[in-house]
A = this chain, B = another copy of it.
Amino acid sequence: MSGNTFGEFFRLTTFGESHGPALGAVLDGVPPNLELSAAEIQRELDRRRPGQSALTTPRREPDQVEILSGVFAGRTTGTPLALLIRNTDQRSRDYGELATVFRPGHADYGYFRKYGIRDYRGGGRSSGRETAARVAGGAVARKVLQPFGIQITAGTVAVGEVRARQFLAATIEDNPVRCPDPGAAAAMAEVIESARKATDSVGGLVECRITGVPPGWGEPVFDKLDALLAHAMLSLGGVKGIEFGDGFTVAARRGSENNDPFGPEGPMTNHAGGILGGIATGAQIVFRIAVKPTPSIAQPQTTVDEQGAPRRIVIHGRHDPCLCPRLVPVVEAMAALVLADLCCRQRALTGDAR
């Protein structure tokens, strides 16, 4: 109800502020008897962690996960999994003007208007750091999906004006942009680097492809598979849009071009991006999200303080000049959470999710 829980049956609740004692997650509805170790979760967290390359913030956040409950003798027990990530750098600091001034492009203003109080240290609850808890949860969701052979792969397909021309999943982790087109990766890295040098930031696109989802997953009407994925992706800070399959281009198209004919194996083309009427068809699920340029930039910006008085602000600190590379594992995690939940819901309805 207050928006810190995601999912109906397989359900993630996250907590924590970026500069409080800890971040964490409680996962409920985890099927019992799944083999699970902290190392598996850590592997996904390490993909999201800052400081992996010259393109990301050099902040040092080890993001070490501890499993507090729900696992016994290496297996899930069916009880809630609590995952804890301590914040290591909590020393009292001078937040200076950030304590009273709203950063443009940030949630500060809204939080203050909503609650009348805000934890201004590093963004508090609205910090991108909160997504570490999602990635931890997503790692468990992947375990639920594993027996179905579901593969979820996201990559950065645009940075500024540079676009990927192919989606070679296997190459994504080979470059720091996490671009699935090795030919475009270097150019993207340059765009990011040049934004950083200009004390600026740059936006991009992330695409996600999912194979192996059994036809039939997804709920009709309000909880369509695409509606849930859209909900999941727009819940990520900085995401300004989503499109499925051929996306916005279908607006200019005719039905005779856009319909995917069916063959014995399912859809023979995939304009729809693997979802019809909100339900998986078995074809590859494809969506793209629009990611805005990081709002924290070390340039003077116009703003106001809590009393509404005009102020100029320069945001110091080390921020990612482009959100996309580190968003890739988060997008995958959110997709996994959506699918694990729908798997359980399908099972509840018919007793069988295949």
Contact = CB atoms under 8 A, between A and B. Distances in A.
Interface string A173-204: 00000000000000000000001001011111
A146 to B, nearest CB: 14
A263 to B, nearest CB: 6
A281 interface: yes
A82 interface: yes
A211 interface: no
Nearest to A105: B259
A276 B32 CA distance: 20
A5 B256 CA distance: 33
A22 B348 contact: no
A4 B79 contact: yes
A114 B349 CA distance: 9
Interface string A8-47: 1101011111001111101011011100000000000000
B237 A223 contact: no
A277 B111 contact: yes
A140 interface: no
Contact of A254 (B22, B201, B251): B201
Interface in A221-237: 221-224, 226-235, 237
A113 to B, nearest CB: 4
A304 B263 contact: yes
B11 A1 contact: yes
A135 interface: no
Contacts of A160: 251-254
A241 B240 contact: no
18 contacts: A1-B9, A3-B221, A5-B11, A13-B80, A15-B82, A68-B84, A79-B124, A107-B276, A109-B281, A110-B275, A114-B215, A160-B253, A226-B240, A227-B230, A237-B277, A240-B273, A250-B293, A255-B297
A5 B8 CA distance: 12
Interface residues of A, number: 155
A317 interface: no
A304 B264 contact: yes
Given A221-B3, A263-B304, A301-B261, A33 B117 contact: yes
A303 to B, nearest CB: 4
B111 A24 contact: no
A220 B79 contact: yes
A26 B6 CA distance: 14
Given A4-B220, A13-B13, A79-B125, 15 more contacts: A1-B11, A2-B9, A79-B220, A106-B276, A110-B279, A111-B220, A114-B220, A115-B216, A125-B220, A202-B255, A203-B251, A251-B291, A255-B292, A259-B301, A345-B348
A348 B2 CA distance: 9
Contacts of A96: none
A167 interface: no
Interface-central residue, A23, A108, A245, A279, by most chain B CB under 10 Å: A279
B258 A292 contact: yes
Contacts of A195: 254-255
A220 B348 contact: no
A348 to B, nearest CB: 4
A84 B128 CA distance: 23
A151 interface: no
B278 A107 contact: yes
